[in-house]
Copies of this chain bind each other. A is one copy, B any other.
């Protein structure tokens, strides 16, 4: 790991009241990273979105993540991204957190979208690693990027590492450095490397830095090594059941937790790694939510894929 000095502009940081408050925001719990419903014409379907939100309101989620990877945010315009957050804010019951994805490729665009997301009602922002110039996105670039964003953000920042989509992992030394920033609360880690997750918890234990598992496949293991919650695509479909897994983990009922956890692995893989967002949306339909089609170039499932998806749910007793 590189020995890296804090950037100069960090020197000015003081734990002002707002940031101290921010640092205390408790992220623990389960979040669905909600899908974005579209009409047949591929427009955002705000009405169906609201109907989904009314159903989610009855589930003991800690909050909602808007524009995580499976929200198809790279396919939304900036206006749509903000409007979706505004819509969610209106529907969200008091006491639930709204975490909004505000990551863009450039630092400047991320700073601006972060401000708009806060103005639209986000309680925190989830900032994905920039990734196009992979070869240059080293710890130094990452630390600068996230520090700049966190410096100016009106709401606390959660780091977001999702190598399956970005092709890179936020380096551990960058995570550790950034964990010291007063306006950076934690990380959503979707890579699933449980050794790394345990190490992040271990090395940030004096920082009150909160780690969220980025997938239901390793949620119990992540709790086991010290994560405080999960942002799980599968929570769009089996939200109540994932909250039950949370309850078992936090109350130390690991034997029961294991039985439940293992029934999630295959359906979770189906709606993420194996068949992606189109499968998540199809499964949502089966469970009474509005999923619908994806924006192009994402393609609908083939018949064989739909059967595979159904099998992955039914063989685990969910259908």
Number of copies: 4
Selected contact of A221 from candidates B141, B221, B299, CB within 8 Å: B221
CB-CB under 8 A from A144, the residues of chain B are 296-297, 299
Distance A143 CA – B77 CA, assembled complex (angstroms): 23
Interface string of A130-151 (1 = CB under 8 A from B): 1011111100111011001000
CB-CB under 8 A from A266, the residues of chain B are 199
| Contact across chains for A261 and B198 when beta carbons are under 8 A apart | yes
Selected contact of A108 from candidates B42, B148, B192, B202, CB within 8 Å: B42
Whether a CB of chain B sits under 8 angstroms from the CB of A59 is no
CB distance from A223 to the nearest CB of B (A): 9
Number of chain A interface residues as a range: 35 or more
Distance A37 CA – B224 CA, assembled complex (angstroms): 37
Distance A201 CA – B77 CA, assembled complex (angstroms): 37
CB distance from A246 to the nearest CB of B (A): 15
CB-CB under 8 A from A201, the residues of chain B are 262
Whether a CB of chain B sits under 8 angstroms from the CB of A167 is yes
Distance A263 CA – B165 CA, assembled complex (angstroms): 31
| Contact across chains for B296 and A225 when beta carbons are under 8 A apart | no
Selected contact of A195 from candidates B42, B107, B140, B218, CB within 8 Å: B218
Whether a CB of chain B sits under 8 angstroms from the CB of A194 is yes
| Contact across chains for B261 and A135 when beta carbons are under 8 A apart | no
Chain A, 201-250, CB within 8 A of any chain B CB: 201-202, 215, 217-218, 220-221, 224-226
Which residue of B is nearest A268, CB measured? B195
Whether a CB of chain B sits under 8 angstroms from the CB of A55 is no
Distance A192 CA – B218 CA, assembled complex (angstroms): 12
Which residue of B is nearest A302, CB measured? B140
**A residues neighboring B (CB under 8 Å):** 42, 69, 74-75, 77, 105-109, 130, 132-137, 140-142, 144-145, 148, 164-165, 167, 192-195, 198-199, 201-202, 215, 217-218, 220-221, 224-226, 252, 254, 258, 261-263, 265-266, 269, 273-274, 276-278, 295-299
Q: What are 22 residue pairs bridging A and B, where the CB atoms are less than 8 Å apart in the complex?
A: A74-B132, A75-B106, A106-B295, A106-B296, A106-B297, A107-B297, A108-B295, A132-B165, A133-B165, A133-B276, A134-B167, A136-B278, A136-B298, A137-B297, A141-B298, A141-B299, A192-B193, A192-B195, A194-B218, A195-B217, A224-B254, A225-B261
